[in-house]
Amino acid sequence: MGTIEMLVDRLKELSASRQEVLDSLEHDAALVRVNALEAVARMAQDDESLIPAIAQAAMNECNNVRLLGTTTVRHVALGCLLCIANDSARRAAADIIEKWPADDRTDLQWYLDSEGISLAAGDCGQ
């Protein structure tokens, strides 16, 4: 697979294969997982079958690792679902938010606000 930097570059450029992107959702490095989530979210715009993989990442405790400040990989995964903004993604996000730990809701809301992502409309400021 090469170095982490090379893998992140392939994920950002969408030059990684679909399988490599999906495999990267389970990579040891949180930075790789975040970039894989963003790549899967781009792919899910045209392929709703990928939405469960993003939803699973949003609930996966191994993604409860902080990236910067209080932002976690789980926050990014939920943001990716909201940015897809189709009915399947919105339903998945709503189910996850309903189960989101109460003690992390403030940090989640801060992350979404900082990224310009609306819970209601699925608007993304990116």
What's the rounded Cα separation, in Å, for the pair 27 and 22?
10
Nearest 5°: CA angle at 94, between 89 and 96? 95
Nearest 5°: CA angle at 54, between 53 and 59? 100
What pLDDT is stored for residue 23 in this prediction?
97
pLDDT digits (tens, 9 = 90+) for 49-106: 999 999 999 999 999 999 989 999 999 999 999 999 899 999 999 999 999 999 999 9
pTM over 0.85: yes
